[in-house]
């Protein structure tokens, strides 16, 4: 069995704070560098591919082996030319973007995010009232639209195809690389990380500066709640799950 392991991390609020390095990031980069030939590094992020690659170019982030961009609706691998077509085929089933847009228009308190945050596979809005999230979910279901509603940081509302998301993206990559679930570590801080963090097979860490949405995370044993914030919290979780050393 291969010794390869996979580190799948959210970016904003997990390893970076407002596009700045966080406490522990230097050590995390050092460790990833030490183990580089046996680690597959994935960023699972709400950002676009280009915005993520810019952070890599600026030297803020290690160059990853894959990016699950736009909250796991696009999977990109070097040389970053086009998103993985098989994953795209999986998520396109039963996706009705127009229906989603129409449904959201009925809510006065939902405002669209800028055009560059929209994509074929994602409808992104601002919503300050968290109590409306289940109402949105119900409104989509009532129209027969199968979609996943993500809510993060008390502001960002993303509606994506039901087969998409960070968990689906990470799982697809893990399987394509033939990595055992116990050799994975996933880490995040907010609502759009919940599906990935709750995958019962995967060791996970929630950083200390977690958002309120993560209160609803199940008490699964595999999910370690770090004391330390940001990258230092990821390191704490990696140590607890014996991520670097587990055979
Ligand atoms: Mg985040």
CA of 1 to the centre of ligand 1 (A): 33
Q: What pLDDT does 72 receive?
A: 98
All domains of the chain, ordered by start, with CATH? Answer: 5-89+164-240 (3.40.50.1000), 95-161 (3.90.1070.10)
Model pLDDT for residues 52-63, shown as the tens digit of each residue: 999 999 999 999
**Ramachandran region, residue 132 (left: φ > 0; alpha: ψ -120 to 50; beta: rest):** alpha
CA of 46 to the centre of ligand 1 (A): 8
Q: Is residue 7 scored above 80 in pLDDT?
A: yes
Among residues of the chain, what percentage have pLDDT more than 70?
Answer: 98
CA of 131 to the centre of ligand 1 (A): 20
User: How many other β-carbons are positioned within 10 Å of the β-carbon of residue 221?
Assistant: 8
CA of 179 to the centre of ligand 1 (A): 24
CA of 61 to the centre of ligand 1 (A): 15
CA of 202 to the centre of ligand 1 (A): 18
Q: What pLDDT does 104 receive?
A: 98
Model pLDDT for residues 147-195, shown as the tens digit of each residue: 999 999 999 999 999 999 999 999 999 999 999 999 999 999 999 999 9
E strands in the chain:
5-9, 16-17, 20-21, 39-44, 66-68, 74-76, 111-112, 123-126, 147-152, 156-161, 184-188, 204-206, 223-225
Q: What is the pTM of this model?
A: 0.96
CA of 69 to the centre of ligand 1 (A): 12
Model pLDDT for residues 231-247, shown as the tens digit of each residue: 999 999 999 999 999 87
CA of 222 to the centre of ligand 1 (A): 19
CA of 150 to the centre of ligand 1 (A): 12
């Amino acid at each position: 069995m291969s010794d390869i392991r996979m580190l799948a991390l959210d970016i904003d609020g997990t390893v970076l704070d407002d596009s700045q390095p966080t406490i522990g990031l230097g050590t995390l980069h050092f460790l990833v560098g030490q183990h580089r030939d046996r680690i597959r590094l994935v960023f699972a992020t709400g950002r676009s591919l280009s915005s993520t690659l810019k952070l890599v170019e600026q030297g803020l982030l290690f160059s990853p082996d894959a990016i699950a961009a736009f909250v796991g609706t696009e999977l990109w691998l070097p040389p970053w030319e086009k998103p993985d077509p098989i994953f795209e085929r999986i998520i396109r089933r039963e996706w009705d973007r127009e229906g989603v847009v129409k449904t959201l228009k009925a809510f006065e308190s939902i405002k669209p995010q800028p055009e560059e945050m929209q994509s074929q596979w994602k409808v992104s809005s601002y919503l300050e009232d968290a109590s409306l999230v289940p109402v949105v979910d119900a409104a989509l279901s009532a129209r027969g639209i199968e979609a996943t509603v993500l809510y993060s940081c008390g502001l960002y509302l993303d509606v994506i195809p039901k087969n998409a998301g960070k968990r689906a993206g990470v799982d697809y990559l893990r399987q394509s690389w033939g990595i055992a679930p116990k050799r994975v570590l996933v880490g995040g801080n907010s609502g759009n990380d919940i599906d990935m963090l709750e995958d019962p097979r995967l060791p996970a860490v929630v950083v200390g500066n977690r958002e309120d949405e993560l209160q609803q995370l199940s008490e699964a044993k595999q999910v370690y709640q770090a004391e330390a914030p940001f990258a230092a919290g990821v390191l704490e979780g990696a140590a607890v799950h014996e991520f670097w050393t587990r055979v």
